[in-house]
Amino acid sequence: MLPRVRLALLLLSALAACVLADYGPRDSVTILTDKNFEKEVLQSPDYWLVEFYAPWCGHCKQLEPQYKAAAKKLKKHARLGVVDATVHQQLAQKYHIKGYPTIKEFGAKKKRPQDYRGGRTTREIVQYVKNSPEAKKLGVSGANVATLEYDKVHAFLNKDLPSAIFFGTPKKGKKSAKVPAWLGNVAESFMEGKKKKKHPTVQLAFVSGSDDKIATHFGLSEDQLPTVIYVYPSSQKYVVSDVSKLNEAAAKKFIDDALANTETAEKDESLPSVPLFPSPEVAKKKPVVALKELDATTARECAAKRGKMCVVVAKEDTGLVRSLAKKYRRDPFTFLSSKPDAQAFQALTEFVGEKAAEVIVVKPGRKVKYSALSGTNDESATSEFLDKLIDGSSPFSVPGGDLEAFEAALSGSSDDATKHEEL
Q: Give the pLDDT band (50/70/90) at residue 140.
A: low
Please tell me what DSSP assigns to residue 151: G
The string of pLDDT tens digits covering residues 192-250 is 544 445 667 899 999 987 667 899 889 888 888 889 999 998 888 999 998 778 888 99
Structural domain includes residue 11: no
Is 300 found in the same domain as 384?
A: yes
Residues near 205 by Cβ (< 8 Å), separated by ≥ 6? 145, 146, 147, 148, 156, 163, 164, 165, 166
The string of pLDDT tens digits covering residues 303-326 is 777 678 899 999 888 888 888 988
Structural domain includes residue 298: yes
Strand pairing partners for 229? 165, 240
CATH number at residue 232: 3.40.30.10
Is 174 found in the same domain as 60?
A: no
Is 337 found in the same domain as 321?
A: yes
Which domain, by its residues, includes 89? 16-138
Q: Give the residue from 99, 119, 138 where a domain finishes.
A: 138
pLDDT at 283 over 50: no
Structural domain includes residue 2: no
Percentage of the residues of the chain whose pLDDT score is greater than 70:
82
Is 218 found in the same domain as 335?
A: no
Which of the pair, 137 or 259, is modelled with greater confidence? 259
The string of pLDDT tens digits covering residues 370-399 is 899 988 788 889 999 998 888 777 788 888
Rounded to two decimals, the pTM is 0.47
pLDDT at 195 (0 to 100): 46
Q: Give the residue from 138, 172, 191 where a domain finishes.
A: 138
Percentage of the residues of the chain whose pLDDT score is greater than 90:
31
Number of domains within the chain:
3
Is 158 found in the same domain as 125?
A: no
Mean pLDDT (whole number) for 174-193: 69
Is 308 found in the same domain as 255?
A: no
pLDDT at 284 over 60: no
32 in helix, strand or coil?
A: strand
Mean pLDDT (whole number) for 398-419: 64
- Distance of alpha carbon 126 from alpha carbon 281, whole angstroms: 46
Is 333 found in the same domain as 299?
A: yes
Is 82 found in the same domain as 25?
A: yes
Is 58 found in the same domain as 111?
A: yes
pLDDT at 94 over 60: yes
- Distance of alpha carbon 275 from alpha carbon 249, whole angstroms: 28
pLDDT at 199 (0 to 100): 64
The string of pLDDT tens digits covering residues 29-68 is 999 999 999 988 998 878 999 999 999 999 999 999 999 9
Structural domain includes residue 377: yes
pLDDT at 18 over 50: no
pLDDT at 178 (0 to 100): 67
Q: Give the residue from 233, 250, 266 where a domain finishes.
A: 266
Structural domain includes residue 6: no
Mean pLDDT (whole number) for 151-162: 87
pLDDT at 34 (0 to 100): 94
203, containing H or E segment: strand 203-207
Strand order in the sheet with 163-167: 146-147, 203-207, 163-167, 227-231, 238-240
- Distance of alpha carbon 374 from alpha carbon 13, whole angstroms: 81
Which of the pair, 329 or 290, is modelled with greater confidence? 329
Is 131 found in the same domain as 172?
A: no
